[in-house]
Every structure is written in structure tokens, then in C-alpha cells.
Structure 1
Amino acid sequence: MYQVALIEDDIEIAELIKNKLNNIEFLSSIDIYEGPLTYLNSGKKAPIILLDILMPEMNGLNAIPILLEYDPDALIIMHTIKNNSETIFQSIRSGAVGYIDKQSSNIDYTKVFRSILNGGAYLTPNVAYKIVNYFQTKKNQFNSLTDRENQITDKIVEAKSYKDIADELNISINTVRMHIKNIYGKLQINSKYELIKLTKSR
């Protein structure tokens, strides 16, 4: 039997979720906390934390590393209306093992908790789609580059200077700059750092 800490500042929503979780046979108790600090100050440690993001006391994203420092074994599942790709990735990078868009209909909480407790992870289908679409979009962006632009991209990743690139490709520095401007426009980025970061993810 597992305890769940439900960290949610909207008490009405929290009570609705609690009622659903109470019907799951392998969960022993569901305690509601209006924010991460309230949970931390309680002195309790629940093995599973269902965590909202938009809260006045402390943002859920900022709370993840603090909660894991307090209890490294805690399994944190984000439960939020925020479903943009960057927020999803930041949550996972910070240590969350699940991400539920609470606007999704017919969430099977039993399936969610079984997946997590069996050592897996869980994403609601629309969240999983956003992740897949994100990487497909980035891949398609690189497909829009010309052979020359791909050559220059590779050399920038190799930390070559504009002069070195111009010399190696037998073109002028101004031509290199023109290609880089086109690359940035196609990839919707603004700096060499972003280009290198994006290249590593393709």
C-alpha cells in the first residue's frame, strides 16, 4: 500500500482527484497539501507525489529538485494544465517520472500509478505526442538546409571560426555570414550556442 501526497492549491480540484485515488486498491492514503512548502513543513514523506505547477507558494518546476533533496526516493508525477514542450522537458530533466495533462479526459489513474510503481514512466497521450512532434519538427527543420548550409553547420559545431570555414570551403567570410543568417532563419534560432544545442538533439 502506498501513500500519495497531492500538492495542489485548488482544493476543489484536489478533493475530486482524491476521491478518484481513494478507489485505487493499492493506495493507502491521499493527503492534500496546498503547496510544496506545506508538504515539506509537514515532516511527512510520501513515496508518490502528484505535483501541480502553477501555485502561488512555489512553482512546481522549482519544487522538483527541492522535493527530491528532501526525499530522493520520491516518485514525482506532474499534474498540471501546462503542456508546452519546454515545461514537459524541464520537468523530466529535473527528475519527474510522469506528466499528466489534467485537462485530458478519462485519465486512468490506476494505469498511471501502476506504470510508475513498476519502474516505468507515464505521459498522457497528448503530452507524449508533443514530445514526438517536437523532435520530428526539429528533424524536419534540418532537412530544409542546403548541402552547403549543412557543411557550415557541421563546421560551427566543430568550433571552427568564420575565417577557417571560409578558407576550408574556398568562399568569402561574407558568404559564410550569409549562409549562417539563412541557417538561423530556417532553424528559428539566434545564436551559435542554440545551433550547437539543436544539432545535438537531431
Structure 2
Amino acid sequence: MDNNIKKRIVIFDDDKTRRDSLTMLLNMCSDMECVGAFVSAADAVGNVKATRPDMVLMDIDMPQGDGITGTKQIKEHFPDLLVIMQTVFDDSQNIFEAIKAGANGYLLKRTSPDKLLEQVREAFQGGAPMTGAVAIKVLDFFREEPVPTSYDLTEKEKNILKLLVEGHSYKMIAAKSAISYFTVCNHIKKIYDKLHVNSATEAVSMAIKQRLV
């Protein structure tokens, strides 16, 4: 990310302690800042219009305006805006409803602050952050889907795609694959081309649906 321009992030969470903690965490970063924190998503579109964020950190279970409905509304008006779900829930129904609503990632609230910041930055670079436990549930859900084609992915590309689906960051993929971060980016670009997708979210979705990994 450009160090001279801070990424603008808004938070939707009915827990005041968590709102304050996330606000403080983001504002301590040199490359990000919190530009709004709201107790519900009842007026999610209006809140986004007023704050003009680059990303939304969205809680799911909030009174007077839940996060899944709020995400749907935001995506209808701002389809390119990044929305990362944050919740204590890891049940399948919430996960898939969030994905269907257009969420770009799904993180459990027990994610450590350092890991959270890493995954937020990864999302800004085109990644699709997903807590490992969530990724496993998504994979299990689609385990009976047919595999129409391999899309001519190489073994290396399949391995990298698998790590991406499991929620690993580009940096972690590089470490696990014993290759450079730059090489990971090149492989992922080739994966996008072969799958005819434009983002990590789409790549992960296709990999899951077509059982490519």
C-alpha cells in the first residue's frame, strides 16, 4: 500500500469495547485509519456514503441492523468496496450467507490483532482473508460438487491455490512453498488468468465450487 495515503476503514460492531479497541488498533497504523465506528448496520449505506471508506469491517450479529443485510445493501450500492466479516460465529449458515451477501473475507473475532492487520492488508492487495476453521467448513460444504475441468493448472499452481483457499496470506504461502513473495504473486496472476477471474475472492469461490484443490 502507498505509505503516503492511509486506507480508510469503518467498523460496524455493537460491542463498544471491541469498537474502541479496533479503532485504536487501526489508528496506530501508519497505513490505515478508522474513519467511522457504528453500533449497527441499520443505515449501512448512509454511513458508507458519509465516511467514504476503502474497507468495511462488519460484525454479523447486531441489533436493529444485522451485518449480512448491511453487507448486501452496501454491495448493491458499492460493489467494489471491500467488506470483511468479523464474528464469533463459525457455523455454516452464517458463513455461507455472508459469502452470498458479497463479503470479501470472513474472520473470527478471536483472530489476533497482528494477524487481523496482516489479513486486512492482504485484502487490500487482492487477497480473500478467511480464518482456517471457516475455510474448512466451506470446503466441506462443496465436497460433493462435480469437477468439470482442471483448468490446466500446474501442480505448483494447485498447491498455491489450495493454500489461498485455506486462508493463508501471500507471505505465508511464500514461506510454506519456499518461494519469494514476488513469485507467489506471479503464480496467482497465472491462476487468475486460467480461471478467468479477477480477484482472490473469485478464485477461492471457483476453487471450492469446482473442487480444484
Normalising by structure 1, what TM-score? Answer: 0.62
Equivalent residue in structure 2 for 1:2, among 2, 7, 18? 7
**Aligned-partner Cα distance in 2 for 1:37–1:25:** 31
Relative to 1, partners in 2 of residues 1:83 and 1:110: Cα closer, same or farther, differing over 3 Å? same
- Counting matched residue pairs gives 141
In the alignment, what sits opposite 1:27? Answer: 32
**Aligned-partner Cα distance in 1 for 2:80–2:141:** 30
For the pair 1:132 / 2:139, whether they are aligned, the reply is yes
Equivalent residue in structure 1 for 2:124, among 109, 117, 126? 117
**Aligned-partner Cα distance in 1 for 2:64–2:114:** 27
Cα contact 1:22–1:30 (8 A) shared by 2: no
Aligned-residue Cα RMSD (Å) equals: 2.3
**Aligned-partner Cα distance in 2 for 1:20–1:131:** 29
Mean Cα deviation higher: 31-40 or 90-99:
31-40
Relative to 1, partners in 2 of residues 1:5 and 1:38: Cα closer, same or farther, differing over 3 Å? same
Within-5 A mapping of 1:149-164: none
SS of the residue 2:29 aligns to: coil
Give the gaps of 5 or more residues in structure 2. 1-5, 146-208
Cα contact 2:45–2:73 (8 A) shared by 1: no
SS of the residue 2:53 aligns to: coil
Question: How far 1:38 moved relative to its partner?
Answer: 4.2
**Aligned-partner Cα distance in 2 for 1:3–1:17:** 13
Relative to 1, partners in 2 of residues 1:68 and 1:20: Cα closer, same or farther, differing over 3 Å? same
Deviation by residue 1:92-140 (Cα, 9 ceiling, x = unmatched): 122100101103445512211122111120001221222234345x58x
SS of the residue 2:86 aligns to: strand
Which of the two has higher C-alpha Rg?
Answer: 1
Cα contact 2:90–2:108 (8 A) shared by 1: yes
Relative to 1, partners in 2 of residues 1:112 and 1:26: Cα closer, same or farther, differing over 3 Å? same
Give the gaps of 5 or more residues in structure 1. 140-199
For the pair 1:93 / 2:100, whether they are aligned, the reply is yes
SS of the residue 2:42 aligns to: helix
Q: Read off the aligned partner of 2:36 and give its amino acid letter.
A: D
In the alignment, what sits opposite 1:60? Answer: 67
Normalising by structure 2, what TM-score? Answer: 0.59
Structure whose residues are more often helix by fraction: 1
